[in-house]
Structure 1
Amino acid sequence: MARVRDTFWQRNKFKLSGLLLILPFWYLYQGMYPVFPPALESQQLGPFVVAPMPFDHNPPYAHHDEYVKDFLLTFSKGDVAQVRQAYLNIGHAPLAMDVLQQGESGILHGSRHGQHVHGIAKASFNPSDKIWLTIEDWQGQRYQAVWSLPKELISH
């Protein structure tokens, strides 16, 4: 029978196993109780009142060969079922509806409780950039709102 040396590693390697078993609970807790930045002010767009909220203060990330920034949009007034299509982009001006319809980024999707969007963005933000939301209802009416970017997003 081989003798095992009594080393620090031999005496304490089981503690590392215990730590590896505990770490998933820390990440589970963080996943169940996320912390989001505050929502931007609500704005009226025709029959809708919408408030966007960035998911974090990180810079845009690459998603399907373009840069996007994630937002949650809550509709406090108006029926989301009345929205035919809605897009969000970040830049110095809103993108034309023809350009927005070409890709899958920038389109709102979700439920009446909240609409998620991968807002079309550039790799980095300038102080002159704004958040543009364009909504089209089933009657063909288009509504547009603009928000200033939070300072925390510009500083990155």
Structure 2
Amino acid sequence: MARRKNTFWNRNKFKFSGLILLLPIYFLYQSLQPPEFPPVWDEKTIGPFKVAIQPLNNEPPYAHHDDWVKDFSAYVNEGEVRDIRQGYVNIGTSAIPLQELEQDDVGILHGSELLQHVHAIAPKTFSAEQRVWVTLQTWDGDVYQGNWELPADWLK
């Protein structure tokens, strides 16, 4: 019969396995604590639609496939989402032309009738003259734009 050596590992490995079984409790607790989102920005009328946007956090933009983006949720409060052919969001001094936006897949509104999500095209840092621009095109080909000022705490 083989004899086990009385090492620290052999004496305590069952205790470590018990600790590993307790780790899911910590991660379950974390997953049940919802994040606090910034408040929804004021509703704006963009053509036949009333749209409100909400940033998902107050962090600066992040790099995503060679672009800088900032995440937003968009709520279409008046008008039908199915009437929107395509929608884009960008942050800058002016709205990016629709022909240029169509060349890439960044900044596209996507989601359901209840909530739209977007990875808005953004610069690496913000300045006071920049705004959040929403560009919507209907199935008739009409293009509408609206914008929001950036919060003061983003302009650091």
TM over 0.5: yes
**In the alignment, which residue of structure 2 is the partner of 1:37?**
38
Cα RMSD, aligned residues only: 2.1
Instruction: For 1:44 and 1:123, locate their aligned partners in 2 and report how far apart those are by CA, in whole Å.
Output: 28
**In the alignment, which residue of structure 2 is the partner of 1:56?**
57
Looking at CA atoms only, which structure, 1 or 2, has the larger radius of gyration? 2
Aligned residues: 152
Identity %: 38
**In the alignment, which residue of structure 1 is the partner of 2:77?**
76
Instruction: For 1:64 and 1:37, locate their aligned partners in 2 and report how far apart those are by CA, in whole Å.
Output: 25
Large movers: runs of 4+ above 2 Å: 1-6, 9-19, 151-155
The alignment status of 1:27 with 2:33, answered yes or no, reads no
Instruction: For 1:19 and 1:57, locate their aligned partners in 2 and report how far apart those are by CA, in whole Å.
Output: 33
SS in 1 for 2:86: strand
**In the alignment, which residue of structure 2 is the partner of 1:108?**
109
**In the alignment, which residue of structure 1 is the partner of 2:136?**
135
Q: Unaligned 5+ residue runs, structure 2?
A: none
Instruction: For 1:80 and 1:21, locate their aligned partners in 2 and report how far apart those are by CA, in whole Å.
Output: 40
Q: CA offsets, 1:115-144, max 9 Å, x none? A: 111100111111221100111111111111
Which letter maps to 1:21? P
Q: Unaligned 5+ residue runs, structure 1?
A: none
User: Given the two structures, how large is their TM-score scaled by the length of structure 2?
Assistant: 0.87
Which letter maps to 2:53? P
User: Given the two structures, how large is their TM-score scaled by the length of structure 1?
Assistant: 0.87
Name which of 20, 27, 37 aligns with 1:17: 20
Q: CA offsets, 1:76-128, max 9 Å, x none? A: 10001100111100011111111111100011111110111110011111122
**In the alignment, which residue of structure 2 is the partner of 1:65?**
66
